[in-house]
Amino acid sequence: DLPLRYDPPTKPRHVVDHEAGKHALTFWKVVERHDTYCRVELTPITGRSHQLRVHMLSIGHPLLGDGLYAHPEALAAYPRLCLHASMLSFTHPGTGERLTFECPAPF
């Protein structure tokens, strides 16, 4: 649980702020380990802007290819942001049916 707030001086970035930040909770699980990186499954419990990116950065694991938050080594490690929604689920507004869509990460 790392509270987040918008940081106007570094627009559009957000930062962890234990005093003024809004509650933000992310569950995470390592699914693959490699020499220089890990693939993790992230589950945002709250839905704050940049939540997953800032939470991973704040624990020392920036997302590969993240041009906004990653340090140069992590930015150069992959040509695009390595963040992918592998599953989306919602209730159809007309029928009330629960719909789930899955797509594996392309990286």
* pTM, full prediction: 0.89
Residue at 104 is within a domain: no
% the chain with pLDDT above 90: 97
What CATH number should be reported for the domain holding residue 11? 3.30.2350.10
Report d(CA 91, CA 73) in Å as an integer: 40
Instruction: Provide the number of structural domains found in the chain.
Output: 1
Q: Under a CB-based contact definition with an 8 Å cutoff, are residues 42 and 52 in contact?
A: yes
Residue at 94 is within a domain: no
Per-residue pLDDT averaged across 5-32, rounded? 97
Q: Residue 33: which pLDDT band, with cuts at 50, 70 and 90?
A: very high
The residue type of 76 is: A
Four-point Cα dihedral 90, 39, 24, 86, nearest 10: -10
Looking at residue 28, what is its pLDDT? 97
Which domain covers residue 47, as residue numbers?
4-78
